[in-house]
Amino acid sequence: MSTAQMQFELRFTCLTGTGSGYSFPCDHAGCVDMDRLSDRDRLDYLFARGSVGYVLSSPAVLAITM
């Protein structure tokens, strides 16, 4: 399967192990199209980006299977 056919997500995991973290659809390079996110998801994405190193880990790009 080529990268053009694959789907990816940007995943932030909780550093304390008590939370579930966040994940957002992205491209193979980890770029999130914020215009396609709902208002709530956009706020969560901005929170996640600002919480790296404090509450959440640095994000990882993961290929997801459908």
Beta-carbon contacts of residue 44 (< 8 Å; ≥ 6 apart):
22, 24
In which region does residue 61 sit, left (phi positive, over 0), alpha (psi from -120 to 50) or beta (all else)? beta
Q: Summarize pLDDT for 3-15 with one digit per residue, the tens.
A: 557 899 999 999 9
Strand stretches in 20-64, DSSP E: 22-26, 60-64
Q: Domain segments of the chain: what residues? A: 7-64
- pLDDT of res. 51: 95
- pLDDT of res. 21: 92
Q: Summarize pLDDT for 21-65 with one digit per residue, the tens.
A: 999 999 999 999 999 999 999 999 999 999 999 999 999 999 998
